[in-house]
Amino acid sequence: MAEEEIFIVVEDMPAFPGGMQALSSYISDNITYPDAGKGAGAVVDVTFTVMEDGSLREIGVAGSSNPAFNKAAVNLFRGMPKWDPGRQRGKAVKVKLVVPVRFDPGTE
């Protein structure tokens, strides 16, 4: 059986329930700062695949300005609610995304 394709761009991109504003609120409400990162800032690019049912899989780090924050950023996405899946030709498909998570030392 052939493995299903994972898309990067589709006709209807996956979306966090409520849109980008809701995603920003979710991140700011649920972000935790690692002890090793106290007083520091970072940007961690989290990569993940939105599955056909909206669940998130293959969560990892695509890039990071401070590795001390990587685990906290990944854990943030592991606890996320399901997304609205991406669609290609009307069919739900797997879509790989990257979302930057900003750790601002002024808000910890």
Q: Which residues contact 81 (CB under 8 A, 6 or more apart)?
A: 17, 26
- Single out the residue of 60, 46, 47 nearest to residue 95, CA to CA: 47
pLDDT tens digits, one per residue of 58-67: 999 999 999 9
pLDDT band at 99 (very low <50, low <70, confident <90, very high): very high
pTM: 0.91
Phi, psi of 97 (to 5 degrees): -130, 160
* 71-93 per-residue burial string, b: 16 or more CB within 10 A, e: under 16: ebbbebbeebeebbbbbeeeebb
3-state secondary structure of 64: strand
pLDDT tens digits, one per residue of 39-80: 788 999 999 999 999 999 999 999 999 999 999 999 999 999
Q: Which residues contact 40 (CB under 8 A, 6 or more apart)?
A: 66, 68, 103, 105
Q: Rounded distance, CA 86 to CA 95, Å? A: 6
- Tell me the pLDDT of the chain averaged across its residues: 93
